[in-house]
Amino acid sequence: MGTGKMDSSAVYTLFEELKQKIEQLSKGEISDNQAKSNFDTEEIVLLMHDIRERVNQKQFSPEQIKELQNILVQVAGYSLGKVNDRIGTILTELKAVVVPLNEKVSRLQTPTNMVIRKEHVFVVDFRRSKTAITIISMALIILLSWGGNIWQFINNNQLKDNDLKYRYVKTRGEATAKTLLQLETIFTYSKNRDSISEIREQVDAYERMVKERTEEIERKRLLLKK
């Protein structure tokens, strides 16, 4: 029985050592060097094997064997609980990392029906581009042509006004200072269009009358010759 008691004490000691190893695994207290040497798994397996052999020795009484088997079941359940707790903690940590990553990936995904607009930007270098020089030259030519047309239009109107003034003076038979001042006021200073239209009608009527009289005189001359 002394040997049985000694072996039983040794088995209890192994149980306690096994529980400590399991607690270290569950709390993550084993260092990286120990993990690299398979300390966690191999030593626990050896402890379990040693406990199993000691429990199977015949010097134990049936009550002691039953008690040791109950303790072994409790240790096994304890170890499974610790492992499950550790796995649950790891899964929770992984979920906390993976869920934000999935959300970021979902936001970064481009919808298939999105229309991508391409903007074309043209940069013109006015110092080197032949196209820019051509455009500027054409713009200057158009501007000068437009300015020339305006000047020509004004000049033509001025010539028409001068012609009308000359014809009006002919209808009067003389060019007095008063008549010339009146014409300049109407055509230049005040630009009275109604007066200009009236002068044009008078000049046209006078010229028609002169033309008709000339034709009549010519006919009479031809009749006298006959």
* Residues 121 and 113: beta-carbon distance below 8 Å: no
Taking the C-alpha atoms of residue 64 and residue 43, their distance in angstroms, rounded to an integer, is: 25
Q: What is the pLDDT of residue 3?
A: 42
Select, from the ranges 14-23, 49-58, 216-225, the one with the highest average predicted confidence (pLDDT): 216-225
Q: What is the pLDDT of residue 141?
A: 93
DSSP code for 208: H
* Residues 22 and 84: beta-carbon distance below 8 Å: no
Taking the C-alpha atoms of residue 7 and residue 67, their distance in angstroms, rounded to an integer, is: 13
In terms of C-beta density within 10 A (0-12 exposed, 13-18 middle, 19 or more buried), how is residue 169 classed? middle
Question: Quick check: 205 pLDDT over 50?
Answer: yes
Q: What is the pLDDT of residue 103?
A: 67
- Mean pLDDT, the chain, rounded, equals 71
What residues does each domain of the chain span? 2-108, 153-225
Residue 75, number of CB atoms within 10 A of its CB = 19
Q: What is the pLDDT of residue 6?
A: 40
Q: What is the pLDDT of residue 183?
A: 85
Q: Select the more confidently predicted residue: 2 or 70.
A: 70
In this prediction, residue 175 has a pLDDT band, given cuts at 50, 70 and 90, of confident
Q: Select the more confidently predicted residue: 147 or 25.
A: 147
Question: Quick check: 28 pLDDT over 60?
Answer: no
In this prediction, residue 5 has a pLDDT band, given cuts at 50, 70 and 90, of very low
Q: What is the pLDDT of residue 53?
A: 66
Select, from the ranges 20-24, 77-81, 158-162, the one with the highest average predicted confidence (pLDDT): 158-162
In this prediction, residue 140 has a pLDDT band, given cuts at 50, 70 and 90, of very high
Instruction: Say what the pTM is.
Output: 0.36
CA within 13 Å, CB half, 121: 2
Q: How many helices (H) and strands (E) would you count in the chain?
A: 7, 0
Q: What is the pLDDT of residue 47?
A: 65
Residues with Cβ within 8 Å of residue 127, at least 6 apart in sequence = none
Question: Quick check: 25 pLDDT over 90?
Answer: no
* Residues 187 and 167: beta-carbon distance below 8 Å: no
Q: What is the pLDDT of residue 195?
A: 86
221, amino acid identity: R
Question: Quick check: 97 pLDDT over 60?
Answer: no
The CA–CA distances, whole Å, from 200 to 126, 162, 171, 188, 194 equal 54, 12, 11, 16, 10
